[in-house]
């Protein structure tokens, strides 16, 4: 609104000035008002490069003082003012300024000229600020607008599911038509991968292909959603979003041995279909919702599972900045993961694109200011007290012994004495360790922060600006009730208030963002193609009405994600074939309008898990400490060396891999598993020779090829290579081979052996693509 208003005013001035420019110059017009007339010109053309944070040519046009610090104009003398000289194109040449972007219009130049002529009044306190490109009317910041789509012209079988009505209507408008349903083999492979991350077995394929019941597909979907593999698969996607890593990162990069319970919490929550609003709240404020319950409080790992610099710094200025960086990391992840807003961009200055101010950022900073990285015992208060009471005398004894030891050493007493003290110390340590205590979990430590919290000018922790209190972001103030706590609000209530605000019924971002993430993993691309950025720099939604409808559906269905998955995979849009049509591709090559199901490559984890699964080697034990595909060595910093041989202890699903940061993992890194430095909104599949090298040459492929060969011999007639080849095709591709394929495969088996054939199959495209 504000923007439009300003533009209108400038235009009015424009009209007033019009073509009678010379006349206007002569006959002094109505007095120029700085805020109304001049500030918008600076805002539009100058301020991006001439502000305190940028100051090109040492010039800022932000405040009166900035202006006075330079001699860019002479009040009352436009013709002697450099400001006018550089923007005036009257001579016909391109004006010197603005350096980038359109020159000022004649009307705008005239306004400046008149302003200077009238004395260049700049009222005290008027500040020119760069405006974000989007304001609070930006589409994603408006309330959900869920309409029931009209079904006119939509064929009967596309009317039953609102998704289909939306999709069909847009397809039709774009001159496209959807494909017919995919065949059953294709469909069962697609939906099994999509919901569990693993392929269907030949028996499961056959059962579905032969199931004549009208609700056969529905049954299949329900079985898959109930499978515990669902949580393992979808859980991995969430771990990407929250940048979950199991080492500290940075220079030290020590492994974190007790991080895995958070991963299990995510898998369990998804399998239990925990309402997403509850899931969000637990990750920010579980200590308020279920205090002392380790199974819930572990959710708080979300706050502190990002990379953190723990090297230690005696330089106080640097140490303060490192602390600010640690909180920044939490703010960014929270903003991107839940809100799809790049809040971190407002750390040093107001967001240049979205209506997120520096004050919004530091309100969140005040909210998180009491969160510190590290472990904490988690148990009900009473239990913590009991444990502390038992621990105290032991700790006291230990301290005494240490003091005695130090004194003895100083006095150079006989070594025997010291040895005896060491023995006693070891005994105390043993007792401390043996004391049954609450679990130590990496859920962060909470301290009451200083009451005074500030904006840090330009993000510099030494430059304290305006005071802030824990509060919600004004970005959404028009649509949902915010919160503003007192400066001394208890630490715990700050995070709880934020959590409640994130999942409030009228906060439109959180449901939009999660609905889009779910959609993304079924169709390969989100309705918003930039799932962590629903702001100006993101890609606008293909189907805004559909996105809102899905978000509303999710909330109306108790925030149960499985219901949304079910709705999506039950749609005709999802069930159509991936057949290619050149004509349609001309209009929509990537099938963004969904005229076909977009085929896609498996993710790194799906590839590795599938290799294990089809070879009969997948160890399906759930949860607990993870396995490693690297060798870990540590002195004062850590190193991660890739393993040459992956032993059977590593044959678990990839979600259980202990994901260290800055560790290059064969297969996983090659196939685009992200290094968990930031929130990753999705995988960008690349094609590289290193993938081919890893899949062809790593000993893992060879071992899997041998295991698969053994399985084929076991399960198909040992003396019948054609039958073995057929089984391999069923296992890996979900279909039997044609005659040519069978002949070529059998030929390789004859010339070499079954293992060679299996190695080829594991390297083939069809194995790692889903139609």
Partner 1 sequence: MAENQDKIAAVREQLFSRRGFLADAFSGLAGIGLTALLQRDFLAANEIGPIDSRRWKHGCGRPPLEAKAKRVLQIFCPGGASHIDLWEHKPALAKYHGQPLPGEENLVTFQGKNGNLMNSPWPFAPAGQSGKMISTLLPNMARHVDDIAFIHSMQSKTNTHGPGCVFMNTGAIFEGFPSAGAWVSYALGTANENLPAYVAIPDIRGEPPNGKANWSSGFLPAQHQGVVLAAQQPIRNLNVPSGISPEEDQATRELVHFLDAGHATCNPGLSELQARINAYQLAARMQLSAPAVADLDAEPRSVHRFYGSDDRNPFKAAYARNCLLARRLLEQGVRYVNLYCASRASGVDGLLNWDAHKTLKADYERHCPIFDEPTAALLTDLKQRGLLDDTLVLWTTEFGRMPTHQAGVTGRDHNPAGFTCWMMGAGVKGGAIVGATDDFGRRAAVDPATVWDFYATVLQLLGFDHKQLSYYHNGLNRRLTDVQGNVLRGLLA
Q: Which of residues 294-333 bind partner 1 (CB under 8 A)?
A: 307, 309, 311, 313-316, 318, 322, 325, 329
**Which of 444, 670, 709, 734 touches partner 1 (CB under 8 A)?**
670
What's the min distance (Å) between Cβ of 731 and partner 1? 14
Among 11, 505, 692, 718, the residue binding partner 1 under the rule CB under 8 A is 692
Q: What's 140's DSSP letter?
A: G
For the window 702-721, what string marks contact with partner 1 as x by the rule CB under 8 A?
x-------------------
462 binds partner 1 (CB under 8 A): no
Cα-based distances in Å from 698 to 90, 645, 664, 738 = 70, 8, 14, 30
Least separation in angstroms between residue 411's CB and partner 1 is 23
Given the complex with partner 1, which of 137 and 764 has the nearer CB atom?
A: 764
Residue closer to partner 1 by CB (options 434, 684) is: 684
Pick from 262, 299, 757, 770 the residue near partner 1 by CB under 8 A.
757
Give the start-end residues of each E strand in 469-510: none
Does position 4 interact with partner 1 (CB under 8 A)? The reply is no
Between the CA of residue 152 and those of 135, 146, 165, 171, 181, what are the distances in Å? Answer: 35, 18, 9, 14, 22
When asked if residue 589 is in the footprint of partner 1 (CB under 8 A), the reply is yes
By CB under 8 A, the residues from 17 to 76 that bind partner 1 are 54
The two structure tokens encoding residue 412: 């150079």
Residue 141: closest CA among 282, 285, 1, 44: 1
CB of 3 to partner 1, least distance (A): 14
Q: Residue 733 CB, nearest distance to partner 1 (Å)? A: 9
Choices 16-24, 381-389, 422-430, 695-703 (CB under 8 A): range interacting with partner 1: 695-703
CB atoms within 10 A of CB 79: 11
Q: Minimum CB separation from partner 1 for residue 638, in Å?
A: 9
Of the two residues 148 and 582, which places its CB atom closer to partner 1 in the complex? Answer: 582
Minimum gap (Å) between residue 550 Cβ and partner 1: 20
681 belongs to the binding site for partner 1 (CB under 8 A): yes
CB atoms within 10 A of CB 455: 21
> Nearest approach, Cβ of 596 to partner 1 (angstroms)?
9
Q: Which stretch binds partner 1 (CB under 8 A): 193-201, 377-385, 497-505, 666-674?
A: 666-674
Which residues, including other chains, have CB under 8 Å from residue 445's CB and lie 6 or more apart? 371, 372, 373, 374, 375, 376
Dist. CA 713–CA 294, nearest whole Å: 47
691 interacts with partner 1 by CB under 8 A: yes
Distance between CA atoms of residues 584 and 593, nearest Å: 10
Name which position in 437, 482, 599, 736 contacts partner 1 (CB under 8 A). 599
Alpha-carbon distance of 551 to 536, in angstroms, equals: 20
- Measure the CA angle with vertex 218, ends 213 and 222; round to 5°: 130
CA distances from 361 to 471, 477, 532, 621 (A): 10, 14, 17, 42
Which residue number, 164 or 605, has a Cβ lying nearer to partner 1? Answer: 605
Residue 765 binds to partner 1 (criterion: CB under 8 A): yes
CA 111/CA 92 separation, integer angstroms? 19
Residue 37 CA to residue 11 CA, distance in Å, equals: 10
Yes or no: say if 652 and 611 are a contact pair by the CB < 8 Å rule.
Answer: no
Position among 18, 23, 76, 769 found at the interface with partner 1 (CB under 8 A): 769
Q: Does 631 bind partner 1 (CB under 8 A)?
A: no
Binding to partner 1 (CB under 8 A) within 235-274 occurs at 249-253
15 binds partner 1 (CB under 8 A): no
665: tokens are 């993992």
- Which residue lies nearer to partner 1 by CB, 46 or 286? 46
Residue 394 lies near partner 1 (rule: CB under 8 A)? no
Residue 583 binding partner 1, by CB under 8 A: no
Structure tokens given for 638: 């850590």
Hey, which bits of 661-712 come out as E strands? none
Interface with partner 1 (CB under 8 A), residue total: 93
445-446 and 440-441 beta bridge pairing: unpaired
> x-or-dash pattern for partner 1, window 538-577, by CB under 8 A?
xxx-------------------------------------
Among 137, 402, 407, 697, binds partner 1 (CB under 8 A): 697
Among 174, 216, 662, 710, binds partner 1 (CB under 8 A): 662
Q: Which of 481, 580, 714, 717 binds partner 1 (CB under 8 A)?
A: 580
Within 328-357, the residues that bind partner 1 by CB under 8 A are 329, 336, 342, 345, 353-354
Nearer CB in complex with partner 1: 276/640: 640
Please state, in angstroms and rounded to a whole number, the distance separating the CA atoms of residues 467 and 453. 6
- Provide the minimum distance between the beta carbon of 316 and partner 1 in the complex, in angstroms, as a whole number: 7
Give the span between the Cα atoms of 74 and 81, in whole angstroms.
5
Q: Tokens 């290799």, residue?
A: 611
Site for partner 1 contains 392 (CB under 8 A):
no
458 forms part of the interface with partner 1 (CB under 8 A)? no
Residue 515 Ramachandran class (φ > 0 left, ψ -120 to 50 alpha, else beta):
alpha
**What b-and-e string marks burial along 562-601, b requiring 16 or more CB atoms within 10 Å of the CB?**
bbbbbbbbbbbbbbbbbeeeeebeeebeebbbbbbbeebb
Task: Determine the longest span between alpha carbons in the chain, in angstroms.
Answer: 105
- Could you say whether residue 608 binds partner 1 (CB under 8 A)? no
Query: Whole-number minimum distance, CB 462 to partner 1, in Å?
Result: 13
739 binds partner 1 per the rule CB under 8 A: no
- Answer yes or no whether residue 177 interacts with partner 1 by CB under 8 A: no
- 675 binding partner 1? (CB under 8 A): yes
- Determine contact, residues 268/358, Cβ cutoff 8 Å: no
510 versus 525: smaller Cβ distance to partner 1: 525
* 384 forms part of the interface with partner 1 (CB under 8 A): no
* Candidate list 298, 663, 709, 770; residue touching partner 1; CB under 8 A: 663
Contact characters 501-540, partner 1, x per CB under 8 A: ------------------------x---xx-xx-x-xxxx
In angstroms, the Cα distances linking 568 to 96, 161, 229, 521, 562 are: 56, 9, 19, 11, 10
Enumerate residues 6+ apart whose C-beta is below 8 A from 12. none
DSSP secondary structure letters along 416-434: HHHHHHHHHHHHHHHHHHH
Q: Which is nearer to partner 1, 419 or 744 (CB)?
A: 744
């Amino acid at each position: 609104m504000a923007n439009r208003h300003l533009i209108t005013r400038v235009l009015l001035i424009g009209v007033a000035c019009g073509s009678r420019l010379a006349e206007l110059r002569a006959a002094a017009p109505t007095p120029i008002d700085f805020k109304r007339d001049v500030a918008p010109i600076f805002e539009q053309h100058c301020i991006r490069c001439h502000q305190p944070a940028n100051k090109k040519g040492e010039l800022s046009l932000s405040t009166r003082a900035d202006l006075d610090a330079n001699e860019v104009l002479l009040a009352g003398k436009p013709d002697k003012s450099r400001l006018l000289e550089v923007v005036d194109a009257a001579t016909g040449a391109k004006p010197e300024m603005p350096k980038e972007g359109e020159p000022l219009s004649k009307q705008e130049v005239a306004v400046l000229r008149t302003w200077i002529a009238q004395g260049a009044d700049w009222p005290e306190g008027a500040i020119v600020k760069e405006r974000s490109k989007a304001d609070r009317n930006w589409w994603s910041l408006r309330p959900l607008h869920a309409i029931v789509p009209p079904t006119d012209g939509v064929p009967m079988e596309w009317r039953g599911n609102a998704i289909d009505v939306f999709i069909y209507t847009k397809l039709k408008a774009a001159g496209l038509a959807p494909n017919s349903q995919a065949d059953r083999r294709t469909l069962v492979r697609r939906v099994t991968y999509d919901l569990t991350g693993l392929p269907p077995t030949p028996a499961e394929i056959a059962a579905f292909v032969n199931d004549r019941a009208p609700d056969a597909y529905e049954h299949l979907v329900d079985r898959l959603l109930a499978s515990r593999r669902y949580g393992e698969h979808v859980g991995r996607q969430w771990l990407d979003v929250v940048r979950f890593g199991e080492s500290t990162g940075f220079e030290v990069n020590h492994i974190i041995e007790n991080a895995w319970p958070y991963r299990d919490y995510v898998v369990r929550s998804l399998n239990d279909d925990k309402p997403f609003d509850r899931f969000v709240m637990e990750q920010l404020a579980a200590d308020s919702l279920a205090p002392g319950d380790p199974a819930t409080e572990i959710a708080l790992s979300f706050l502190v599972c990002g990379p953190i610099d723990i090297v230690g710094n005696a330089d106080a200025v640097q140490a303060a900045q490192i602390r600010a960086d640690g909180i920044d990391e939490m703010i960014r992840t929270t903003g991107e993961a839940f809100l799809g807003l790049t809040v971190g961009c407002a750390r040093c200055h107001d967001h240049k694109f979205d209506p997120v101010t520096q004050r919004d950022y530091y309100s969140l900073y005040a909210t998180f200011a009491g969160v510190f990285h590290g472990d904490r015992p988690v148990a009900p208060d009473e239990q913590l007290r009991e444990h502390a009471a038992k621990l105290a005398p032991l700790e006291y004894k230990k301290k005494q012994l240490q003091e005695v030891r130090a004194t003895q050493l100083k006095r150079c007493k006989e070594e025997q004495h010291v040895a005896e003290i060491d023995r006693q110390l070891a005994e105390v340590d043993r007792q401390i360790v043996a004391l049954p205590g609450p679990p130590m979990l990496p859920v962060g430590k909470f301290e009451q922060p200083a009451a005074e919290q500030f904006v840090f000018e330009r993000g510099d922790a030494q430059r304290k600006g305006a005071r802030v209190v824990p509060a919600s972001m004004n970005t959404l103030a028009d649509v949902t009730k915010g919160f503003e706590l007192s400066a001394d609000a208890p630490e715990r209530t700050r995070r709880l208030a934020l959590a409640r605000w994130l999942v409030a019924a009228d906060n439109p971002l959180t449901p939009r963002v999660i609905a889009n993430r779910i959609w993304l993993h079924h169709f390969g691309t989100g309705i918003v193609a930039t799932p962590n950025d629903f702001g100006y720099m993101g890609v606008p939604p293909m189907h805004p009405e559909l996105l809102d409808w899905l978000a509303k559906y999710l909330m109306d269905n108790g925030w149960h994600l499985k219901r949304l998955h079910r709705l999506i995979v039950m749609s005709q849009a999802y069930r159509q074939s991936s057949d290619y049509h050149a004509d349609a591709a001309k209009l929509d090559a990537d099938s963004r309008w969904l005229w076909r199901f977009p085929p896609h490559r498996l993710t790194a984890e799906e590839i590795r898990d599938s290799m294990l699964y089809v070879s009969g080697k997948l160890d399906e034990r759930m949860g607990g400490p993870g396995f490693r595909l690297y060798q870990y060595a540590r002195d004062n910093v850590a190193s991660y060396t890739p393993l040459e041989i992956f032993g059977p202890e590593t044959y678990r699903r990839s979600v259980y891999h202990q994901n260290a940061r800055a560790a290059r993992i064969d297969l996983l890194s090659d196939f685009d598993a992200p290094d968990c430095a930031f929130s990753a909104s999705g995988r960008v599949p690349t094609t590289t020779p290193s993938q081919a090298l890893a899949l062809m040459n790593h000993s893992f492929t060879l071992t899997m090829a041998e295991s698969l060969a053994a399985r084929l011999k076991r399960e198909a007639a040992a003396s019948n290579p054609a039958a073995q080849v057929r089984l391999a095709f069923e296992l890996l591709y979900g279909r039997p081979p044609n005659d040519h394929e069978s002949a070529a495969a059998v030929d390789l088996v004859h010339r070499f052996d079954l293992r060679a054939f299996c190695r080829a199959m594991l390297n083939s495209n069809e194995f790692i693509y889903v139609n």
